[in-house]
Every structure is written in structure tokens, then in C-alpha cells.
Homo-oligomer: A and B are copies of this chain.
């Protein structure tokens, strides 16, 4: 038998495989706090509980698992978030009462304003402040997935400006710094934060200013490559 003959006689659906889902922890920054998008489960199991946006791969229409999660996020928010990164994959016997199941979990970031309108139209989708998440009874192991995402994003805030993708297109340095401060859980040295940004040349100065109590703040935009940039020296934790 050669490979062609083997494949002709092979039907993968005759073999049993764990359940496979794709989920995302989508963060945004709004009202001086970080928030995570939760979705009310419409079906069993865990019907009625809140959980992370996600779902099953559509073998017909999704070419990759990345496409699956982008599709799911677009269903819930109306747009595709500007930052999406694989977090981890959890697979075990007990996480889903239906049986052996695996989820590929992503971390994503989006500006609140970019999906505000769409989310207001939907009953079963809401932003929850990270201070309140642990108090909700989340479906499956979604609380643990959130915690992992949070930890990873916290780490990233020490050596990158990835958290900036939770802000709108145009933002002030104080806003960016505050996102980092919320993640790290302590105030940062203003000067240090600005110095490293300046030196790394990651921002575009729009030339515009935002007037709003006190000295007007310069408005910046992220350069495209800023998602990949890593500072050689971390901020203190």
C-alpha cells in the first residue's frame, strides 16, 4: 500500500478525538480599569453561566484555528481585535462534563470604543472589570484561563508596550502608562516610562493634543512594529 491508497481509505471521522474548542480572553481599557469580555452561555453545558468568547472550529469555513478565534471575536464585538496572541492550550478529562476536551486559548486586546456600539446591541455579551471577575461563577475552567492571560499580560507590560493595544488608536502617554500600572499593580516612574518609549521609538506623535483638566496631553499612535518590540531591560515588578 502506498500513501495515496492509504489516504483514499482513510476517514478521520471514524477515529474519536477529544472535543476541541477555541477561546479568547479579550481585554480592553475603560473607565480607568481593565475589563474582560464575557459571554452568557446560551446552551448546555453550563447554560446561563458567563464564559469566555469562543467556540468550535468550523472545518468547512475556517482554514486555521486563528481564523476560528478571529471569527468568534468578530461575532461578539463586530470587529477583529488589533492584537491577538496564542496563550496556551488546556486539555484534560474533567474540564468539560461532555468528556475529554481541549481548548486553545488566546489573549486579545481591543479599544473599548471600537466595539462599544456593537456590544450594546447584544444582551448576552458584557465587559467585566478584572476586579469583579473572580466573584462571578464562570463556566468550565475559564477563570483559570483568564488568570493565565492576566499574568502573561502583566509580564508583557514589563518589557513591551503590547498593553497599548487595549487603548484607542490615539492615546496619551499617561493613559498608556496607567494601563501598565493597572496590570503591574503599582505606580510607575513617569520619567522611566517616557524615557524608554522615547528611546525605543515606538510611537508616532500625531501632533494633536487632548484638552481636559490641566496641561493638554500630546496624542500618540502605536507604530505597527510595536507589538513585537521587547525592551532589553524590564521594569521592576
Q: Which residues of A contact B (CB under 8 A)?
A: 1, 3, 6-7, 10, 12-13, 15-20, 44-47, 56-57, 59, 62-65, 68, 86, 88-94, 97-102, 104, 230, 232-234, 236
Contacts and interface: CB of A to CB of B under 8 A. Distances in A.
Contacts of A104: 89, 91, 102
Contacts of A93: 59, 62-64
Contacts of A57: 17-18, 91, 100, 102
A47 B5 CA distance: 13
B100 A3 contact: no
Total copies of the chain: 2
A4 to B, nearest CB: 9
A12 B18 CA distance: 8
Contacts of A91: 20, 57, 64-65, 68, 104
Contacts of A230: 234
A59 to B, nearest CB: 5
26 contacts: A1-B44, A3-B44, A3-B97, A6-B45, A7-B45, A10-B44, A12-B101, A16-B59, A17-B18, A17-B20, A17-B57, A18-B57, A57-B91, A59-B100, A62-B93, A63-B92, A63-B94, A64-B91, A65-B89, A65-B90, A65-B92, A68-B91, A86-B88, A91-B104, A102-B102, A232-B236
Contacts of A65: 89-92, 102
A149 B94 CA distance: 29
Contacts of A12: 19, 98-101
Given A7-B44, A7-B98, A17-B17, A89 B92 contact: no
Contacts of A97: 3, 7
Given A10-B98, A65-B91, A65-B92, 8 more contacts: A12-B98, A16-B59, A18-B20, A18-B57, A20-B91, A57-B102, A65-B102, A102-B102
A45 B3 contact: yes
B232 A234 contact: yes
A7 B7 CA distance: 34
